[in-house]
Amino acid sequence: MVSINIPGRVVVFDYGEVISQTPSEQDVQELLEGAGLSLDELQPPYWHHREALDSGQIRVVEYWQRVAADLGVSWDLATIHRLWAIDFRSWITVEPGTVQLIDELRQGGTRLALLSNAGYDYGDAFRNAPFSYGFERVFVSAEMGLLKPDPEIYRRTLEEPGIEPAQMVFVDNKAENIASAEALGITGHVFTGPEGLRAFLESLAESVAPSLVSEV
């Protein structure tokens, strides 16, 4: 197996659409059918209230109640649970290429962590998921009361492992999140796919310590 060793660095991964895949058309259709709505109807309130959920201001039930209120409908607790389960499941499918790279980094002894804008309900799921095997820390925005790209969320992420900005490597699919991290001196990579990420990580490993990208 190929292993990637980036000594002296902690590679911090975003989750959504970096480790996870984008929800499939089937996932989206199942959610729309569960809500009895069209995409054009559901999408605006779904995203409008997401920041409050991901920053920890509200929990899952209140989130779906707010979505329902914006739509002029009322959902009972069983319906809310069904919609939550469909939505939650749609974000759990992972990108195999990213998880392969995570495992190669782990095999190479590279330190790993997660930083995700996500609600409280994802905390235990992230910490117990197979992809995070070997992660030192899992940072969930709701638990921190902060959201990317607020610079403070990166400062807090640096504090727990006790590292300086130059020691952190951050991988995220949103350019604004990377720009905010880089402004603090963190090395960033805008994720567009596993192939580009592999090239970035191997180049970084080679620049830090030549010959530490190896086959074992």
Residue 212 predicted with pLDDT over 50? no
Q: What is the mean pLDDT of residues 98-109?
A: 98
CATH of the structural domain 2-22+94-215, one choice from 3.40.50.1000, 3.30.470.20, 3.40.50.2300, 3.40.50.150: 3.40.50.1000
Q: Rg (Cα) of the chain, in Å, rounded?
A: 18
Task: Output the pTM of the full model.
Answer: 0.94
**Per-domain boundaries in the chain:** 2-22+94-215, 25-90
**Which residues are CB-neighbours of 138 under 8 A, at least 6 positions away?**
113, 114, 123, 126, 127, 132
Q: Answer yes or no: are the C-beta atoms of 89 and 99 closer than 8 Å.
A: no
Order across the sheet with 187-190: list the strands: 137-140, 111-116, 10-13, 168-172, 187-190
User: Which whole-number Å values give the CA distances from 154 to 34, 106, 118, 157, 203, in the listed order?
Assistant: 37, 22, 15, 5, 24
CA angle 70, 72, 73 (to 5 degrees): 110
Q: Is the pLDDT of residue 24 over 90?
A: yes
Q: Report the alpha-carbon distance of residue 190 to residue 177 in Å, rounded.
A: 9
pLDDT, tens only, 116-157: 999 999 999 999 999 999 999 999 999 999 999 999 999 999
